[in-house]
């Protein structure tokens, strides 16, 4: 329970403040409280999942090495000579 030095709980302090407001301000306070409770009840959006490409293709076959890339480059450029 949240109490102050005077012994009043948060709910009691809120009630006292609300009673001292005008009727229109009390209506605004009520609407704000309803919006806050709806916001708490709403499902929170999930954080985006980051998927690394290497992780997706891991284990799908032999790894490509620098030598493999160099060999393919040589084959490709050999056609242009």
Does pTM surpass 0.95? no
pLDDT, averaged in runs of 10, over the chain (81 residues)? 69 92 94 88 78 71 84 88 67
Cα Rg for the chain, rounded, in angstroms? 33
pLDDT of 6: 66
The pLDDT score that the predictor gives to residue 24 is 94
For the chain, which residues make up each domain, given as ranges? 10-41
Helices (H), the chain: 10-19, 23-41, 53-57, 66-78
Residues 6+ apart with CB under 8 A from 41: none
């Amino acid at each position: 329970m949240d109490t102050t030095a005077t012994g009043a709980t948060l709910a009691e302090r809120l009630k006292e403040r609300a009673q001292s407001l005008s009727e229109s301000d009390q209506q605004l306070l009520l609407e704000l409280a309803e919006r806050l409770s709806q916001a708490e009840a709403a499902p929170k959006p999930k954080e985006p999942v980051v998927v690394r490409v290497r992780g997706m293709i891991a284990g799908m076959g032999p790894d490509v090495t620098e030598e493999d890339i160099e060999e393919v480059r040589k084959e490709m450029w050999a056609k242009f000579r």
